Every structure is written in C-alpha cells, then in structure tokens.
Amino acid sequence: MSLVNIDIDLLRTLIVVADTGNFTKAGERLLRTQSAISLQIKRLEEFVGERLVNRENDMQLTAAGEMVRSYAIDILNLNDQLVSSLETASNNRVIKIGTPDDYAQLFLPSVIREYSKINGNVEFQVISDLSINLARMVQDGEIDLALITRTGDMHGINLTAEPLCWVAKYGYEPDNDPIPLALFPEGCEVRRLATSSLNKSGLKWNIVCSSNQLAPIFAMISTGSAIGVLPSRAVPKDFIRIGNEFGLPHLPNADLLLKLAPQADALTQNVGKAIAHSFGPH
C-alpha cells in the first residue's frame, strides 16, 4: 500500500462510529447526516484498502478496523494536545514592566512568581532603564507599567519610601580623594541624591563608572575601585553598608512609585495591584 495522508476527520468518525455502533447516532454527535458518516467511513476504507466496519453485524469493527481505531486514538490525542497548546500560546499575554535594574532584582522575582501562580498565561517582559525614561515610556504606551523612583514632579502610585545606603566591598579602606563612585547614569534620581548629599557635606567625589545595568557597577565595587548606592534591601551578601565611620553623609529615602499606562487594561491593573500589594496596603 502506498503512503497516504489520512484525513483526521475520517479517523474521528471511525472512533465515534465504534463508540455509538450506529451511523445515525454518530452523525448526531458529529453534527453530520447519516449518509455523510457512511461516506466518510467508505473513504477511510478506500484509503487503507481494508474493510473497517462490518455493516451486517451491528456495525462492529473488523480486525483491520480495530487496528486503525487504536492508532486513530493516539493520533487524535496528539492532534488535540497540539491544538490546545497552540490555543494556550496564542492566548498568552505579554506584560511589559519597566524598572531600574536594582529594583528588578529586588522586587520583581517575587511578584512575578506569585502572579504566575494565579495566571500562568502571562509573559512578563522586563525593560530596565532610568526612571525618567521609563516614566515617558509608560506615558507613551511603549510599556504597560513601571516601578520607578520619583524624579521631579513625577506622578504615580506611592509604594514606599525606600531607604538608601552607601555600599562597598568587605574590607574597604577609603584611601582616595575624591571619593570614587559607581552609579547609574546622569538622570538617575538616586545618583542625584547621592552626589547632592556629598556636595552638601563639602566632600569631593568622582564618577569612575556609570551604567544602566548593575553588573558593571557591582564589578567596580567588588574590586574596591569605587563605592555605590543601593536600596538598603538590595545590598548583596558580598557587600557591606558603610556610612558615618567613613565620613559619608546620611542618604535620604527614595520615593518608589508605580506608574500605569493611561489605557491600562484590566490585566495590567491586576498586575499593578499585585505589585502594590507586595508593599502593603494602599
């Protein structure tokens, strides 16, 4: 017998005929006429070159029919699983969340983990940038929501006043003047708060490294080439908090905001509520 591509509808019809034992009942289940069911079984028999249904014996399957039926069950299960998977994939919703890199590591993993337990069909796409850039992207609809530090007259949902601290490697000894700093680029509110505090204290400083990503900043700090500023809760175990003992000024808190796109849909709002909930009642 030459290879043929058997119509899956014909296989499904054979299974239903075997289950019901009747062309008419099979037609009712498949929303087809009795003659259409009979024609489909005939076409399937022509494909395989064997008689599959014994019409003279209560529509029982022949030996060949039983064999085809056993394969048909597996084929249809795989087909239905594929269709279900494709439907699930097509229903996946991408939520674009913006956040500075330090907040991404500090807050987002737990929020995404908990929300994914509730709604597994959401893909979170994380965009890291300066808060001022993320606020513009939210307003322009480029991203759905953002976790940002208040900069200037920026508006959003108040989440918390996040304490900031100076960080350095273990064993850090201040032997440089000016103070070497590794911070986010110009436009970052945390950078402004840090340098402004140094200026008010009359301390000289110098930016030796700036980046939107934490990896280069952490690398400079870990080699002792610079000190940095992080949210207190985001200090990695390899770093230490430093301050007055090294003559460094106290740092003010950074106001953390949640900003949603003007046309945020219900799903985006639910994600925003999950983020806000992680910071306590609002």
pLDDT tens digits, 208-250? 999 988 899 999 999 999 999 999 888 888 899 999 998 999 9
Tokens 């498949």 correspond to 30
Asked if 194 and 251 count as a contact pair (C-beta separation under 8 A), the reply is: yes
For the ranges 21-35, 66-80, 140-154, 164-178, which has the lowest average pLDDT? 21-35
Asked if 219 and 280 count as a contact pair (C-beta separation under 8 A), the reply is: no
CA nearest neighbour of 271 among 51, 79, 118: 118
φ, ψ of residue 264 to 5 degrees: the values are -60, 130
Position 282 confidence tier, pLDDT thresholds 50, 70, 90: very low
Sequence-distant (6+) residues with CB within 8 A of 69 are 14, 15, 18, 61
For residue 203, is pLDDT > 70? yes
Dihedral (Cα; 126, 143, 124, 276), 10-degree rounding = 90
Asked if 116 and 107 count as a contact pair (C-beta separation under 8 A), the reply is: no
Mean pLDDT, residues 117-121: 66
Asked if 130 and 212 count as a contact pair (C-beta separation under 8 A), the reply is: yes
Query: What does CATH list as the number for 164-252?
Result: 3.40.190.10
Distance (Å, whole) CA 54 – CA 44: 14
For residue 58, is pLDDT > 80? no
Radius of gyration of the chain (CA): 32
Distance (Å, whole) CA 265 – CA 194: 37
Asked if 232 and 164 count as a contact pair (C-beta separation under 8 A), the reply is: yes
Name the 3-class secondary structure at 40: helix
For residue 87, is pLDDT > 70? no
136 CA to centre of own chain: 21
Are 93-161+255-277 and 164-252 equal in CATH topology?
A: yes
Distance (Å, whole) CA 98 – CA 63: 62
DSSP β-ladder status, 93-99 and 122-128: parallel
Mean pLDDT, residues 268-277: 80
Of all residues in the chain, what percent carry a pLDDT higher than 90?
A: 36
How high is the pLDDT of residue 188? 92
Mean pLDDT, residues 127-156: 90
In the chain, where the domains are located: 8-90, 93-161+255-277, 164-252
Helices (H) and strands (E) in the chain, counts: 10, 12
CATH topology of domain 93-161+255-277: D-Maltodextrin-Binding Protein; domain 2 (3.40.190)
CA nearest neighbour of 63 among 73, 55, 53, 72: 53
Q: Could you tell me which CATH class the domain 8-90 is placed in?
A: mainly alpha
Distance (Å, whole) CA 208 – CA 26: 77
